[in-house]
Amino acid sequence: MKTLKEVRTGETAIVSKINVAGSVKRRIMDMGITKGVAVTVRKVAPLGDPIELNVRNYAVSLRKADAENIIVE
């Protein structure tokens, strides 16, 4: 199983599961990151955190701690 944190810049992955519960899961889902959606890693900040994603044709910034909880294919 690969997490969103491990996806390299320029690669696209499909979300298969969000491994967190409660308000954090709701916040991630409100950003448009849901099961089955394609996510492309656009940029990584100079110090490595956060990462910028392209989700549903818009840009989203996500902390790597949150990206660890998103399982992708």
Domain edges within the chain: 2-72
**2-72 carries CATH number 2.30.30.90:** yes
Rounded Cα–Cα distance for residues 13 and 20 (Å): 19
pLDDT value for 48: 79
Report yes or no on whether pTM surpasses 0.75: yes
Find all residues with CB under 8 Å of 31, minimum gap 6, and list them. 55, 60, 62
pLDDT value for 1: 82
pLDDT in tens, the chain (73 residues): 899 899 999 999 999 999 998 999 999 999 999 999 999 999 999 887 899 999 999 999 999 999 999 999 9
